[in-house]
Amino acid sequence: MANGRSSKSSSKPYVFCGRLCQPRRRSGFTETSYDLIFPVKIDILTLFPDICRVPLGESIMKRAQENRLIDLRIHNLRDWTTDKHHIVDDAPFGGGQGMVMKPEPIFAAVEQLCDAKEKTANTQQSKIGNGESKVIVMSPAGRRFDQQMATELSHESHLVIVCGHYEGVDHRVIQHLVDLEISIGDYVLTNGAIAAVILVDAIVRLLPGVLGHEQSAVDDSFNHGLLEAPQYTRPAEFRGWKVPKVLLSGNHAEIAKWREEQALKRTHENRPDLV
């Protein structure tokens, strides 16, 4: 017993945010942080692994992997080709500019990563149905990604992310393999690997134990339908610009009221579509 808290009872695993977690402890005290007992598995399929590997190997994402909160694996799609030139694309039927990603290596990769039963070349393939894996393709034609979708995906146990490239993927991949097409915005990138990094970062930071304080994710912009209120730090005065007095008052009720008002004002100014 320490400070009236039982270390034995508080260290038991329990469900937090829909996941089985273990309270993180230090010097006999239970902190407001939690570690996942079963790490979330994320597989990324791309033609450019380093585009994903570098940013997801730094800072918070790096610590999440070191602490075994996520099992992140980045794969080169060419590893699932069967020809000596490792061809992953071909010209589109019906003509048109650019190249289209072929279905064979994508199906082979996803089925292997999802432990799906191997099918013969003459058998029609259906979407992965193991009940554990969600297959996503990054595409400008997909549903627009937002905080609500990030929260929903953070409850999945296994994500397989296919990064589109060229003029996109053969539509049979979307029809018969993919669960969800996602776009990160109304613009076009050079390839889907960049979008996949944004997707993974937004999802992983919501997992228990990833951020330094669980309230950090709760207070983020968009979580309550509004942008986050302005933030200030020391010094209290810089070049004659002073921090709002209410933030220095110590009155938590007034601070909360001010933040709510400022969040609404900021949203009206920058994102009126959210109000």
* Residue 200: band (very low, low, confident or very high) from pLDDT cuts 50, 70, 90: very high
Residue 32 has pLDDT above 70, yes or no: no
Question: How large is the average pLDDT for residues 210-224?
Answer: 68
Question: How large is the average pLDDT for residues 51-60?
Answer: 97
* Residue 273: band (very low, low, confident or very high) from pLDDT cuts 50, 70, 90: very high
Residue 90's beta-bridge partner residues?
A: 100
Instruction: Report the topology of domain 40-204.
Output: Alpha/beta knot (3.40.1280)
Question: How large is the average pLDDT for residues 17-21?
Answer: 57
pTM of the model: 0.82
Q: Are strands 70-76 and 40-46 parallel, antiparallel or unpaired?
A: parallel
Q: What is the percent of the chain where pLDDT is above 70?
A: 77
User: What pLDDT shows up at residue 140?
Assistant: 93
Q: Which residue has the higher pLDDT, 27 or 116?
A: 116
* Residue 35: band (very low, low, confident or very high) from pLDDT cuts 50, 70, 90: low
Residue 247 has pLDDT above 70, yes or no: yes
* Whether domain 226-274 has CATH 1.10.1270.20: yes
Q: What is the percent of the chain where pLDDT is above 90?
A: 71
User: What pLDDT shows up at residue 224?
Assistant: 74
pLDDT tens column, 82-93 = 999 999 999 999
Give dist(CA 178, CA 136) in Å, integer. Answer: 6
Residue 37 has pLDDT above 90, yes or no: no
Residue 45 has pLDDT above 80, yes or no: yes
User: What pLDDT shows up at residue 251?
Assistant: 97
User: What pLDDT shows up at residue 3?
Assistant: 45
Q: Which residue has the higher pLDDT, 265 or 4?
A: 265
* Ranges 164-173, 199-208, 223-232: which has the least confidence: 223-232
For the chain, domain boundaries: 11-35, 40-204, 226-274
Question: How large is the average pLDDT for residues 114-129?
Answer: 58
Could you list the active site residues? 140, 167, 205, 220
